[in-house]
Amino acid sequence: VLSGAIIEAEATIHFLQRAYTFKMDAHLLQLFPPSANLSQDTTPASAVFDSSIEQAFSAAFVSLATSQGADGWQLEREPEPLLLPSSIFIPDFALTRGQRRIYVEILGFWTPSYRERKIQKLQQLLDRDDLLLAIPVEAKDAFVSIAPHFPIVYYDGQLSATHVLQMLHTRYDDFAERLELINVSEVRERVLREGLLPERLCYDLLHCYRRSELSQAANHVVGDDILFMPGIGLYSLVWLVQLKSAVIAWLRSMHGAALSGVVQEMRHRWPELSGCEDATIEALLSLWPEVQIRRASIFEAVIEVVSEQNPTHEDVTGDVEEVVASGKAAKKVVRERRVATKKRGVVEQEATQGDLWG
């Protein structure tokens, strides 16, 4: 069995644009079930990638893109060649987002002749603004002559996909241009018509790739009748008040129920919630002080209404004021988080297993 032949292993988990490295010894590896597909993949890595560095970078980037953590960039290996006066230059990768296409070349330290050939070709590309270089730390001095002309990510051992994304964000950020693409009247009309646009849909409508961008872009749409809250999305104030009244009346008739069942039933009863994730619906329920969610364990929660009073006109008016206040409070929290984010370092090194809990 292959797992018995492996003495130790290392796994890199990409989560929220950070990389966590987990080291596993032989005892831990024995706990993994045998894989039935190990013998099916017989293609050597060298037949697909020129180096293990390229292979690891590609795997890390694809993992981030799958979890919506690549800021909308799509990775392509060995794209079309860049034309030189008397030859061509084939980058290792191309990254595409919208109309922008950035080429990535991972340089090595291999031999003096290799470095000379690379430098000669790169010197013919100095006028391009769409080529990003990845250079090993030990080769920093060898490529110093071209360093001022290209955006560069230095790496030690393996190239971090997160560091590349940070460089792309620093050098090629086009958030201001994307804000101008927002059709404010169209988005507002859709919110008022549908009642709720879940956060997931807001990314496309507001031309955003990061959650921090989403809150800023939403400020162009919100007003007295429309609010935005992280984790929920854009919603009509009138719709939310009506939803609250209907949901609380329904919950009172059940005298307590499992949260998972309530979430599923709410999708069925209110079509505008059919495409919402569980977390979005739970966030909506958490807006209302009359609704209490009790968690007896990490696996299940019970939801119930803590007030049995029938809503009056004053209650409805209070609901409107309450929702407006909640929206303003959410904006304040987002703004404070944004300020705090600016204090972080420009580039963070990949965390080890211990950092996950630190």
Tell the residue number behind the tokens 């809250």, with chain if given: 229
What is the residue-averaged pLDDT of the chain? Answer: 81
Give yes or no for a contact between 179 and 87, defined as CB atoms under 8 angstroms apart: no
Q: Is 13 in a helix, a strand, or coil? A: strand
What local confidence, expressed as pLDDT, does residue 346 receive? 34
Distance CA 216, CA 285 (A): 24
Asked if pLDDT for residue 222 goes beyond 90, the answer is yes
Give yes or no for a contact between 76 and 93, defined as CB atoms under 8 angstroms apart: yes
What local confidence, expressed as pLDDT, does residue 356 receive? 35
Query: Would you give the distance in Å from CA 170 to the centre of its chain?
Result: 17
Mean pLDDT for the stretch of residues 179-207: 96
pLDDT grade for 6, boundaries at 50, 70 and 90: low
pTM assigned to the model: 0.67
Distance CA 192, CA 150 (A): 47
Mean pLDDT for the stretch of residues 233-249: 96
Strand 74-77 versus strand 93-97 pairing type: antiparallel
Strand 233-236 versus strand 196-198 pairing type: antiparallel
Mean pLDDT for the stretch of residues 204-209: 95
Which residue ranges does the chain devote to CATH 3.40.1350?
A: 47-173
Tell the residue number behind the tokens 């309530």, with chain if given: 262
Distance CA 326, CA 334 (A): 12
Q: Is 356 in a helix, a strand, or coil? A: helix
Structure-model confidence comparison of residues 26 and 196, the more confident one = 196
Tell me the CATH architecture of domain 47-173.
Answer: 3-Layer(aba) Sandwich (3.40)
Asked if pLDDT for residue 47 goes beyond 80, the answer is no
